[in-house]
Amino acid sequence: MITDNQHRKSKQREKILELLQGTQIHPTANWIYDQMKQEFPNLSLGTVYRNLNILVEQNKVKKIIAGSTFDRFEANLGEHCHMICEKCGVITDFEIGIDSSLISQVEENLECKIRHHKFDFFGICKKCRNQ
């Protein structure tokens, strides 16, 4: 494991990364906690969360399906994408021409049925760029 200047080596953090690198299931913090309990009987969930945040910060791990923010709601039921500004948090709707064959391409590859999709773009919005 490559260590940076800010963080020391830790058995727990190494194990968390190892678990994440060795699984396809996109686990929750709690799943990781359960896996580690045998090897680290006194492990606490707080340690798992703390280390996950460090690993995300170090770009060794990604957090997906961002929870922890507030639920947000909209009444725009049409098909559209979101551009989420990482600076001010504003969400802007827009439409792009999604090639409809894209969906069937996915369905064929994974042999699944797609019911809907969500395309989110993250970056800096016009307003924040000009400040």
Partner DNA sequence: TTCTATGCAAAAAGTTTGCAGTTAA
Partner DNA sequence: TTAACTGCAAACTTTTTGCATAGAA
125 makes contact with its own copies (CB under 8 A): yes
Say how far apart CA 26 and CA 23 lie, in whole Å.
7
2 makes contact with its own copies (CB under 8 A): no
In angstroms, what is the minimal distance from the CB of 54 to DNA?
Answer: 6
**Alpha-carbon dihedral sign for residues 39, 44, 48, 51:** negative
Contact 8, 29 (CB under 8 A): no
> Using CB distances below 5 to 8 A depending on partner kind, what does residue 40 bind out of DNA, its own copies, none?
DNA
| Buried residues in 82-105 as b, exposed as e (16+ CB within 10 A) | ebbbeeeeeeeeeeeeeeeeeeee
37 makes contact with DNA (CB under 7 A): no
Number of amino acids touching its own copies (CB under 8 A): 69
Q: What φ, ψ does residue 35 adopt, rounded to 5°?
A: -60, -35
Q: Is 1 helix (H, G, I), strand (E, B) or coil?
A: coil
Q: Which of 6, 38, 42, 76 binds its own copies (CB under 8 A)?
A: 76
Binding mask 17-56 for its own copies (x = CB under 8 A): x--xx--xxxxxxx-x-------------------x---x
List interacting residues with its own copies (CB under 8 A). 17, 20-21, 24-30, 32, 52, 56, 59-77, 81-86, 90-94, 96, 99, 102-103, 105-107, 109-126, 129
